[in-house]
Amino acid sequence: MQCSSCHFENMPGVEVCGRCGSSLRLATAVVDVHPPRARPWVKRMRRTLPLRKVSAQVRDAVRGLRHQAADFAQFVGFPQPRPGMLPRLIVPGWAHIHSGQVLHGSLFLGVYLTLLAFGFLCLGTQLGSFLLGLAFSVHLSSVLSILFACPGDIPSRFVTTTVVAMTLSLAVYFPAGWLLTRVADPHTITLAVFPFEEGDVVLANQWAYLRSPPQPGDIVLYERRGVNIPPRRGHVAIRLQNGQDIDRILAGPGSQVRWENGELYVDGRPSPFHPLNPLHVPTQIRLSVPEGHYCILPSTLSQTIPTGYELPASVWGDLSIVRAGRIQGRVYWRHQPLSRMGLLR
Amino acid sequence: MPRFDRLEFDPSPEQPGVPPAHAADPDRDEHYWMRLADADRRQGLFENALRFYSRALELDRALVEAWIGQVQMLIALGEYAEAELWSRKALELFRNQGGLLAARAHALCRQGDRKQAQMLCDAALAQAGHSAYTWMVRGELMVASKEGIDRHCFDKAVQIDQDWLVLLEIAQVYLHYRVPSKALTRIRQAVEKAPDNAHCWFVQSQCEEALGLTVRAQASLKRCLEIVPGHTEAQRRLTTLSKQGWSLRSAVRRFGSFFQRALGSLVLKKSADEAKAL
Contact B111 A38 (CB under 8 A): no
Confirm if A95 and A89 have CB atoms less than 8 A apart: yes
3-state secondary structure of A123: coil
pLDDT digits (tens, 9 = 90+) for B225-257: 999 998 999 999 999 888 876 677 767 777 777
Which of B177, B104, B120, B169 shows the shortest CA–CA distance to B145?
B177
Nearest to A35 among B63, B86, B111 (CB): B86
Q: Determine the residue of chain A that is closest to B91 in CA distance.
A: A22
* Strand A269-270 with A256-260, pairing: unpaired
Q: With an 8 Å Cβ cutoff, is A23 touching chain B?
A: yes
Mean pLDDT in chain A?
Answer: 85
The model's confidence at residue A180, banded by pLDDT at 50, 70 and 90, is: very high
Q: Is-contact A250 A263, C-beta < 8 A?
A: no
CA distance A330 to chain B (A): 56
Residues of B in contact with A57 (CB under 8 A): 112
Domain ranges of chain B: 18-122, 162-229
Which residue from A30, A36, A56 is facing B111, i.e. has the nearest CB?
A: A56
pLDDT in tens, A82-123: 767 778 888 999 988 988 889 999 999 999 999 999 999 998
Q: Which CATH topology does B162-229 take?
A: 1.25.40
CA distance B138 to B121: 6
CATH topology of B18-122 equal to that of B162-229?
Answer: yes
Q: Does A83 touch chain B (CB under 8 A)?
A: no
Distance from A73 to chain B by nearest Cα, in Å?
Answer: 24
Closest CA to A95 of A161, A44, A146: A146
CA distance A9 to chain B (A): 14
| Domain locations in chain A as residue ranges | 1-40, 87-183, 188-343
CATH class of A188-343: mainly beta
**Above pLDDT 70, what percent of chain A?**
92
The reply to whether residue A20 touches residue B96, judged by beta carbons under 8 angstroms, is: yes
B230 vs A235, residue with greater confidence: B230
A65 near B CB under 8 A: no
**B95–A46 CB contact, under 8 Å:** no
Say yes or no: A11 contacts chain B, CB-CB below 8 A: no
Kindly report the CATH number that applies to the domain delimited by B18-122.
1.25.40.10
Put simply, the answer to whether A63 touches B61 (Cβ < 8 Å) is: no
Nearest CA in chain B to A36: B82
Least confidently predicted of A5-19, A257-271, A311-325, B117-131 = A5-19
